[in-house]
């Protein structure tokens, strides 16, 4: 079930589901990431493995192995 850092995720929903299942969704990031919301273009600070845009509720996720770079953050859906 756990592919280490080699696991490929096609969607943000897969990432969020995985980190929720593993209990990492509320884990803090080592350093906050600046994210531009793909839905409303609001810029916000992502501070945990799962975060949401304060303007529109778009949920974002990133796996622990890739949490040092915003390029690996994916949107899962509004209020997902």
Residue 22 lies in a domain: yes
2-11, 20-29, 38-47, 57-66: lowest mean pLDDT where?
2-11
If you average pLDDT over residues 28-32, what whole number do you get?
Answer: 96
User: What pLDDT digit, counting tens, does each position of 35-69 carry?
Assistant: 999 999 999 999 999 999 999 999 999 999 999 99
Beta bridge partners of 28: 48
Q: Which residues of 3-19 are buried (b: 16+ CB within 10 A; e: fewer)?
A: eeeeeebeebbbbbbbb
Helix spans in 6-76 (H):
12-22
Per-residue pLDDT at 10: 82
Count structural domains, the chain. Answer: 1
Where in the sequence is the domain holding 36, given as residue range(s)? Answer: 9-78
In this model, does residue 3 exceed pLDDT 60? no
Helix spans in 23-80 (H):
none
3-class state of residue 51 by DSSP: strand
Helix spans in the chain (H):
12-22
In this model, does residue 34 exceed pLDDT 90? yes
Residue 20 lies in a domain: yes
pTM metric for this prediction: 0.90
């Amino acid at each position: 079930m756990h592919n280490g850092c080699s696991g490929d995720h096609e969607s943000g929903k897969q990432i969020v589901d995985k980190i929720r299942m593993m209990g990492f969704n509320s884990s803090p990031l080592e350093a906050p990431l600046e994210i531009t919301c793909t839905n409303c273009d609001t810029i916000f600070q992502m501070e945990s493995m799962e975060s949401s845009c304060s303007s529109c509720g778009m949920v974002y996720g990133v796996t622990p192995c890739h949490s040092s770079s915003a390029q690996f953050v994916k949107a899962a859906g509004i209020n997902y």
